[in-house]
Structure 1
Amino acid sequence: MENIALIESFSEFKGDKNIDRVTLMAILEEVFRAALKRKFGSDDNFDIIINPDKGDLEIWRNRVVVADGMSEDDNEEIELAEARKIEPDFEIGEDVSEEVKLIDLGRRAILALRQNLISKIYEHDSTNTFKHFKELEGDIYSAEVHHIRHNAVILLDDEGNELVLPKSEQIRSDYFRKGDSVRGIIKTVELRGNKPVIIMSRTAPEFLVKLFEQEIPEVFDGLITIEGVARIPGEKAKVAVDSYDDRIDPVGACVGMKGSRIHGIVRELGNENIDVLNFTKNTQLFIARALSPAKVVSMKIHEEEGREDGKKGRVDVFLQPEEVSKAIGKNGVNIRLASQLTGYELDVQREGVEMEDDVELTEFSDEIEAWVIQEFKNIGLDTARSVLEKDVAELVKRTDLEEETILEVQKILKDEFED
């Protein structure tokens, strides 16, 4: 294989990967030096001259002339008789530069050299891609659907980089077809076997934050800050906003006239219902706002450090009976989001209902399994009477419990009051 042919075989990768001239020459020299080292034991006394644009390559070996029979290292020394075959007037002690042809390396070495070139190019490209996307973690990115797998959507950007949108990072209502443009945030970037794996997410709370920054100028400019986000992707979200400028209404600015500003965000998120509320450092007021549209009568906060669930504590929230369903929301969504946003476990209580007339579900822990009690608490039912007041069909729909389990629980609870 001629020198130029080897360089041309490399150019097919160079063109695709947009490698700059300096990097290209460094990779070429590194690969050739590795080949020389394997062949001659050392590459220290070799000069490599490369012009990748023209396909020129020259390799020169520099050796010192020694007396005949005195050479201790044929790679670094050349005997006088051998040197004078190159140039008849060489003398002992002089330096001899001799061009090394690629063919001298051997056919197998040349084939290995080409494979090494390809490997180095892809390694360089992967490293650059990894660094590029690592800097974009947490930012919004757009790419096109290339193909769809059962557990992920594979995307390609304009540069041909592959991104993965796993099923777990998709909004439940997401439906994609080949060629669709998809927006999400770069969630994680990692190297797996020298290949960058770029994970995109549409369910992360950060995606909602970035959409606010894109769609609402005051958020982008820092006039409005987002103090907290809680999401159940595709269903509902609560966003707490604040402003250091008293002249700005942060909620109004985010929502816009008749919802004009937030409409684009809602549409991007599959019609996810977004509640925007004013942030405050007053914990009681913040919890009350988070439970909107329910109107809170009063609450009692129990601070608890070191909880396994990471919550700051538990709050007994008292509401009028007709407000309880609003606080809980459909399938318990409202109270779950309020809990996420505030960082407290929220325990809804009916104002005016004497505890003597009711019993906490936790009192039945010896008869009812903890996970079953938690299912009821997830939808705001934490007392015996609150469970008994609900229709079995409704409880089946709103919890992950079987009808048989619910009937058994209600029987246990009824027995308590009949006694």
Structure 2
Amino acid sequence: MENLALIESFSEFKDDKLIDRVTLMAILEEVFRNALKKKFGSDDNFDIIINPDKGDLEIWRNRIVVADGEVEDDNQEISLSEARKIEPDFEVGEDVSEEVKLIDLGRRSILALRQNLISKIHEHDNTTIYKQFKDLVGEIYTAEVHHIRHKAVILLDDEGNEIILPKDKQIPSDFFRKGENVRGIIESVELKGNKPMIIMSRTAPEFLEKLFEQEIPEVFDGLITVKKVVRIPGEKAKVAVDSYDDRIDPVGACVGMKGSRIHGIVRELGNENIDVINFTNNPQLFISRALSPARVTQVSLNDETMHAEVTLKPEEVSKAIGKGGFNIRLAGQLTGYEIDVLREGVEEDVELTEFSDEIESWIIEEFKKIGLDTAKAVLDKDVSDLVQRTDLEEETIKDVMAILRAEFED
């Protein structure tokens, strides 16, 4: 049977992709009906009988018998004399069913039909993969490094699905070798043409949250809730946790004895510094906790502008701001407040931002990065010390100090 070669070529895909019987029959029928439309102009009067288990297929064309010379549509009608070649007792008005062999479609049509069949199989496969990974968005997934490119790492999972880990979704300290397993969250899935593009991320806050679920049993069981996560990937993160059971210390349970529980998470994230904080609905207390390891003396809030002024002892200010300003930035993201730091006991000081008309903002940011955000904090330092600790030229620092001194002399 000339049908068998085509069906057998399909079976390779069927066995490989495990397509269910109903889908298999639907794809086959769609492909053959498209071929019939091209050949005969319509497929309305054709019956297609498929037995995929046996690799068998039959196509039957149904036509009405009309008198000789009265055939207007040779796809829908057959002359009496032609009908009687099939069965000698046919009469005008009767229905005739005649089997169509694949060879009748022509060699070129058969080749096109097979290509269309392969295309439909891949299209179905891609749709299935898209739906599968759409359901996994936000979940942790593991795949193996297949190819390392300049802008992305290409991963393959156990089923051979391609997953992309872009450079900007990698932790800065990430270093991958071909064949090693990589964990991240499925961040997005899009169809590019008919092919699903699956994006993994290791920098998303959700990745850290899901690591807590995987590594800490109380979080997995729902005894501890991760309320919010903020990150500067590879540098620092803050995680607010809460427990509805007063007998459970959420911070202690997450960190473990001497950091034993959180150590694996820190290692997974390239030694990212993780602060675990007790969540509270009291915004003042929450801000105070969020600025850990600094000890806060007082917190004043303006809920309308979501602005907080935090007073600390001078020796605590650098702790509150942190390396590169990371600590205060993450505390603000975690609590939702814009936080300004004030030094306790320092009178008549002025925030550096008040000089933004005279000093460029990027220069002010350079001072803030090393914990100096007021005029007196800068003036208390030696020029040589500031040259070493900032990316500013000595002349620039002297100009700034002159502007600041003029404020107090006035």
Indicate the larger mover: 121-130 or 4-13.
4-13
Q: Which of residues 328, 331, 334 in structure 2 aligns to 1:338?
A: 331
Contact in 2 for aligned 1:205/1:230 (Cα 8 Å): yes
Q: How many Å separate the matches in 2 of 1:398 and 1:103?
A: 83
Report the Cα distance in structure 1 between the residues aligned to 2:54 and 2:262, rounded to whole angstroms: 56
Three-state SS of the structure 1 residue aligned to 2:173 is coil
- Residue 182 of structure 2 is matched in structure 1 by 182
Flag structure 2 segments of 5+ consecutive residues without an equivalent: none
Deviation at 1:156, TM superposition (A): 0.3
Displacement, 1:410?
A: 3.5
Distance 2:320 2:126 in 1: 50
Report what 1:310 is aligned to: none
Aligned 8 A contact 1:126 1:196 in 2:
yes
> Share of identical aligned residues, percent?
80
Opposite residue 68 of structure 1, the aligned amino acid is: D
TM-score computed with the length of structure 1 as normaliser: 0.92
2:179 partner SS? coil
Instruction: State the Cα deviation string for residues 144-197 of structure 1 (Å, max 9, x = none).
Output: 000100111100000100001111111111111000001111011111111111
TM-superposition CA deviations, 1:320-363 (whole Å, max 9, x none): 001111111122121111111111111111111112xx222232
Q: How far apart are 1:394 and its partner, in Å? A: 6.6
1:78-118 superposed Cα distances (whole Å, 9 cap, x missing partner) = 11011011111111121111111112112222222112111
Q: From 323, 343, 363, give the equivalent of 1:350.
A: 343
- Give the equivalent residue in structure 2 for 1:82: 82
2:289 corresponds to: 289
8 Å contact from structure 2 (residues 318, 370) kept in 1: no
Q: What number of residue pairs does the alignment pair up?
A: 410
What is aligned with 1:279? Answer: 279
Aligned AA (2:404): L
Distance 1:37 1:381, change over 3 A: same
Deviates more, 1:270-279 or 1:197-206: 270-279
**What residue number does 1:92 align with?**
92
Q: Provide the residue aligned with 2:404 in structure 1.
A: 413
Distance change (3 Å), C-alpha of 1:295 and 1:270: same
Q: Secondary structure at the match of 1:261?
A: coil
- TM-superposed CA distance for 1:414, in Å, is 3.8
CA contact (8 A) 1:64 1:94 kept: yes
User: Structure 1 residues 375 and 117 mapped into 2: Cα distance closer, same or farther (>3 Å)?
Assistant: farther
Aligned twin of 2:257: 257
Pairs within 5 Å for 1:177-216 = 177-216=177-216
1:200 alignment partner AA = M
Query: What is the aligned partner in structure 2 of residue 321 from structure 1?
Result: 314
Residue 373 (structure 1) aligned to one of 358, 364, 372: 364
RMSD: 2.1
Q: After superposition, what is the alpha-carbon deviation per residue over 1:240-271, rounded to whole angstroms, capped at 9, x for unaligned? A: 11111111111111111222211111111112
Partner of 1:5: 5
Instruction: Give the aligned residue type for 1:338.
Output: A
Shift of 1:16: 2.6
Partner of 2:299: 299
Query: 1:387-406 maps to which residues of 2 (within 5 A)?
Result: 387-390=378-381, 405-406=396-397
TM-score for both structures, normalised by structure 2: 0.94
1:73–1:375 distance in 2 versus 1, CA, 3 Å: farther
Q: CA deviation at 1:371?
A: 4.1
1:35 CA displacement: 0.7
